[in-house]
Amino acid sequence: MNESNYESAILIKAARAAAEAFLAELDRAAGAPPGEAAEGQAGVGDPVEYDPLHDEPPFPRDVGRSATSRQRQMATITYLGAIGRLNAEEGRGASSKEITEFAKKAGYLGGNAVNGWNSRPGSPRAVEIVDGARFLNDEALTSIKKDAAKLGIKLVGEFATVPKPE
C-alpha cells in the first residue's frame, strides 16, 4: 500500500469514529435512555419506572418534524398512557379537558392536535370515543407497552381500555 492510500485509510477511520461519537452525543442529548446498550451488549440498566398519569416524562418528548423516534415514542407513551391509566384508575373515559392536559404534557399544542388519534366510524384508531369520553383501545395499549420496553421504561399502575359490551 502506498503512503497516500495509507493516510486516506487513517483519515476515513478517524472521520468514521468522530461521526459515531457525534451521533452518540446527539442521541444522549435527545433523551436516549441512560445506560441503553446496543443490541447484544451488556450493561443495560434497570428500567425507569413511569406512571403516565401522575409522573413527569422521564425522557424528552417531542412531536415536531425534527423529533427523533425516541422523542416521538415518549410523547405517545405520555399521551396514550395517561388515557389508559385514567381509564383504569377512575373507571371512566377521559374528558375533552383532560385530553387537552394529556396532550400538552406529551408535547402537543393542545387537544385539537391529537384529534387524529380518535376513532371515527369504520376507522379504528388508538382512542375510542364512547358517549363523549375517550378510552384507549387494546391495540394502542399493546403498542405503548412495546415502545416503553424499547425505551427502557417500566410502566407502573393499572391500564384499562375501552369497555367491552356485555
Which pLDDT tens digit goes with each residue over 133-155? Answer: 999 999 999 999 999 999 999 99
* Phi, psi (degrees; rounded to nearest 5) at 154: -105, 110
d(CA 84, CA 97): 16
Contacts of 4 (CB under 8 A, 6+ apart): none
3-class SS at 102? helix
d(CA 139, CA 127): 10
* Total-model pTM: 0.72
User: Is 5 part of any domain?
Assistant: no
User: Is 35 part of any domain?
Assistant: no
3-class SS at 159? coil
Q: What's the grid cell of residue 68?
A: 427523533
User: Is 34 part of any domain?
Assistant: no
User: Is 12 part of any domain?
Assistant: no
Which tens digits make up the pLDDT trace of 61-97? 988 888 999 999 999 999 999 999 999 999 999 999 9
Q: How many domains does the chain have?
A: 1
Q: Once rounded to an integer, what is the mean pLDDT over residues 33-48?
A: 52
User: Is 133 part of any domain?
Assistant: yes
Structural domain boundaries, residue 140: 48-155
Whole-number pLDDT of residue 32 = 53
**Number of neighbours of residue 51 by Cβ within 10 angstroms:** 13
